[in-house]
Amino acid sequence: MIRIVPAIDIIGGRCVRLSQGDYNRSTFYSAKPQEMAERFFASGLTRVHAVDLDGAKSGFPVNLETLKELASVPGTEIEWGGGIKTRGDVDAVLEAGASRVVLGTMAVKDPNLFKSLLREYGPDKIVLGADVRGTKVAVSGWTETSGAEITSLLDSFLPVLSEVIVTDISKDGMLTGPDPNFYKSLMDRFPGVGITASGGVGDVRDIKALEDVGVPAVIVGKALYEGRIKLEDIAYGG
């Protein structure tokens, strides 16, 4: 059964969703991040994917107070990303209450540090976040596209790497549905790596399509906030 991970993207301590990673195309929501985490947990969804968009753009963690509030929700596992570029940043995020730290830009720009942290903290704490446009990996809050190919990036961290969150930026926030074949191709090439799909989920049929090709986990964001997916429809996936 596919694991469903609800998303909370944060700007200025508020819930927000971007369209295709564009900070100029953002939608803010009235619910506070902690309130959303409480709703998710009450529905049986125990892991929350939270992104510090201010941090991603600034290059260092910004919304750590919000992380502390999220981590205060009993029983909730927070995976946190955005602007984490140093060992000190990783420590600060873990100390603020994150269960898992998602690293993307570091993995591209400082791969030796990423490998070192992955070995030191283990795959239960350090997760690769690969945000892609086409087949190229984007960094710095999606504001910069690197020359790295997604497959080459994953290859470079084997055999230590055991999990990656792959976000299709072209589909993120668009509610048009992910491409199951894209994720299946990655799973076929990297059978030892657990792949979480992210970007584009618009309704429960999209989740089912990913489940049908064997994707182990999916991040759901805007569709929840827009009411296109009800928590009662996906609570089984926690």
Task: Supply the CATH number for residue 114's domain.
Answer: 3.20.20.70
DSSP sequence for 99-139: SEEEESHHHHH-HHHHHHHHHHH-TTTEEEEEEEETTEEEE
CA distance 208 to 206: 5
User: What pLDDT does 234 receive?
Assistant: 86
CA distance 60 to 203: 33
Cis, bond preceding 159 (omega within 30 deg of 0): yes
User: What pLDDT does 238 receive?
Assistant: 44
The pTM assigned to this predicted structure is 0.92
List CB contacts of 26: < 8 A, sequence separation 6 or more: 11, 16, 17, 18, 19
CA distance 166 to 150: 9
- Tell me whether residue 89 is one of the annotated catalytic residues: no
pLDDT digits (tens), the chain, 238 positions? 999 999 999 999 999 987 776 777 778 888 899 999 999 999 999 999 999 999 988 999 999 999 999 999 999 999 999 999 999 999 999 999 999 999 998 999 999 999 999 999 999 999 999 999 888 898 765 556 667 899 999 999 999 999 999 999 888 778 899 999 999 999 999 999 999 999 999 999 999 999 999 999 999 999 999 899 999 988 744 4
Q: Is 136 helix (H, G, I), strand (E, B) or coil?
A: strand
The amino acid occupying position 7 is A
CA distance 103 to 84: 7
Residue count (the chain):
238
Question: For residue 227, what are the domain limits?
Answer: 3-237
User: What pLDDT does 144 receive?
Assistant: 61
CA distance 15 to 107: 26
Task: Report which secondary-structure segment, H or E, holds 176.
Answer: none
List CB contacts of 208: < 8 A, sequence separation 6 or more: none
* The one catalytic residue among 9, 52, 168, 172: 9
Tokens of 146: 């690197």
- Tell me whether residue 9 is one of the annotated catalytic residues: yes
83 close to 55: Cβ distance less than 8 angstroms: yes
CA distance 144 to 108: 12
* The one catalytic residue among 52, 54, 131, 168: 131
Number of domains within the chain: 1
